[in-house]
Amino acid sequence: MLITAINLIYLLGATSFVIGLKQMSSPDTARKGNALATFGMVVAILATLFIPITDAPNNYLWIFGAMMVGGIIGYISAIKIEMTAMPQMVSVFNGLGGACAAVLASTELTQYANGATILSKGQLLILLITLLIGAIAFTGSMLAYAKLQGLVKDSQVTFPKHNIVNLILLGALLAMSAYVYLNMADPTLWYIVLVMVLALLYGFSFVAPIGGADMPVVISLLNAFTGLSAAAAGLIYENKIMLVGGILVGSAGIILTVLMCKAMNRSLLNVLIGGFGENNQTATDNGDKQLAKEITYTDLAIQLYYSKSVIIVPGYGLAVAQAQKVVKRLDNLLSANGVDVKYAIHPVAGRMPGHMNVLLAEADVPYPKLLDMEDANEEMPNTDMVLVIGANDVVNPAAYDDPASPVYGMPVINVWEAKNVVVMKRSMSPGYAGIQNQLFFHHKTKMLFGDAKSTLEQLNDEVKILDT
């Protein structure tokens, strides 16, 4: 009877996960989806604690104590984290999930090596896979966090021909894992420890050569790894909710990785070994030989105020400046004057897919105003003014006309097809791709330099003067 009740609760939890994920696909229902998925996790954890185990120690105090400490840390982190640092938090939490799977697998393997348990070939294989994937996800995610946070530079953790180093480490890791598996009749603890050490080293080395622009793709891939390791742990303990949850996380991570690669028109292999985002200049990068035209606040305010249609293209610079609410105030002023204001959202604008959607939703920008890249490009020729705020590589015309550019072939927002373009940026510095953006020197483009928030606030003041 108790097992039946637990399985029914697991079914409730799994259903909550699926419906919650579905609701997270839209900003309008994302908050409800997150709450529903949280509910599913809570009931699943509580149900697991009531599974009858023979000769189980009474360690509920330790369990609930750890849950409380972890919950407090998670809550404080979520409250204090800035939107611009969300990928770093995802990396850390993802890495800790991989670490949990690796600890579970290493504990079972240690007991096996000490003769305390007996494993079948299938169980040993699953444990080794869990250990490998979890350890790789842990150190890889920690390095991804350090890179995104600016604590580590690529040059500090890479070697010449680093991909060859990775292949050697991967070969050694697989060979040692195969040795442990094939010699399961005589398990040796030190060999298992060596497998874990190699997996930890490979996770670090695997992420080391990948450039900063590709780090969100890597985080998504590592997230898929963590999900797979959790699913494998579910197989070890015959826990259905761990299996379902791990599969959902793993599949979601893989889908997101594929979508991000598609948005950049690159293969996953190219992301992992291509070195995109390592500040390499192309042959056509001659921005220092060209002049960019500037515009004044007054002139820009007049053009915006008397335009029929305006499209705003947000990017990472907007997120850094926390200027989303100021943008919404500008939107309100222009809309009150009859201007049709919309937002063009590139799939990989910001640090992760959906970054700009969440940022604008935080400022109460209506979701129907957000255009995806294809719809925005269709409207560009009939748009009077495009205001690019903090975006760079996602509006670079080199994606179409410069085969030597790292962004060549990447789908971008064709802002240069609008009648006028103004780029708001701190400086002429390149974006993540490490190349100068030729849009800055386009005959339709004018630049407005400064911090996005302060610049928009001054622009709002100029528009208010016109409104009076």
pLDDT number for residue 213: 65
What pLDDT was estimated at residue 284?
Answer: 45
Query: Cα(175)–Cα(179) distance, rounded to whole angstroms?
Result: 6
CATH code of the domain in which 449 resides: 3.40.50.1220
pLDDT block averages, 10 residues each, the chain of length 468: 86 94 82 92 90 72 91 88 79 91 92 87 92 94 87 82 89 93 86 94 90 77 90 88 92 88 77 56 50 90 94 90 92 94 88 80 88 93 94 88 81 93 84 76 92 92 86
Give the C-alpha separation, 420 to 437, whole Å: 17
Residues 263 and 173 in one domain: yes
Which ranges in 24-85 belong to alpha helices (H)?
30-49, 60-80
The pLDDT score that the predictor gives to residue 468 is 73
Domain identity same for 352 and 387: yes
Asked if residue 61 is part of any domain, the answer here is no
Identify the pLDDT of residue 261.
83
Instruction: Report how far residue 262's alpha carbon sits from residue 351's, in angstroms, rounded to the nearest whole number.
Output: 16
**How far apart (Å, rounded) are the C-alpha atoms in residues 388 and 397?**
14
- Residue 104 and residue 186 in one domain: yes
Q: Is the residue at 325 inside a domain?
A: yes
Give the 3-state secondary structure of residue 447.
Answer: strand
Q: Catalytic site residues?
A: 393
Residue 59 lies in a domain: no
In this structure, the answer to whether residues 158 and 205 fall within a common structural domain is yes
Q: The pTM is what?
A: 0.79
Domain span at 48: 1-53
Instruction: Write the single-letter amino acid at 385.
Output: M
Same domain, 134 and 180: yes
299 and 274 belong to one structural domain: no
Q: Do residue 294 and residue 259 come from a single domain?
A: no
Q: What is the domain count for the chain?
A: 3
Asked if residue 102 is part of any domain, the answer here is: yes
- How far is CA 256 from each of CA 198, 219, 262, 311, 336, rounded to the nearest angstrom? 28, 10, 10, 27, 38
**End of a domain among 250, 278, 306?**
278
Answer yes or no: do 354 and 245 share one domain: no
In a shared domain, residues 184 and 323? no
- Tell whether 262 and 307 lie within a shared domain: no
Tokens in use for 10?
A: 């697991």
Question: Which of 278, 312, 339 is the last residue before a domain boundary?
Answer: 278
Do 174 and 197 share a structural domain?
yes
Residue at 77 is within a domain: no
Distance in angstroms (rounded) separating the CA atoms of residues 427 and 381? 27
Of 244, 278, 312, which closes a domain?
278
Residues in the chain: 468
* Coil/strand/helix, residue 309: strand
Tell me what pLDDT residue 157 has. Answer: 85
Decide if 81 is inside a domain.
no
Task: Answer yes or no: do 100 and 207 share one domain.
Answer: yes
Which pLDDT score, from 0 to 100, does residue 259 have? Answer: 83
Task: Report the distance separating Cα 14 and Cα 231, nearest Å.
Answer: 13
Tell me if 198 is assigned to some domain. Answer: yes
Q: Does residue 70 belong to any structural domain of this protein?
A: no
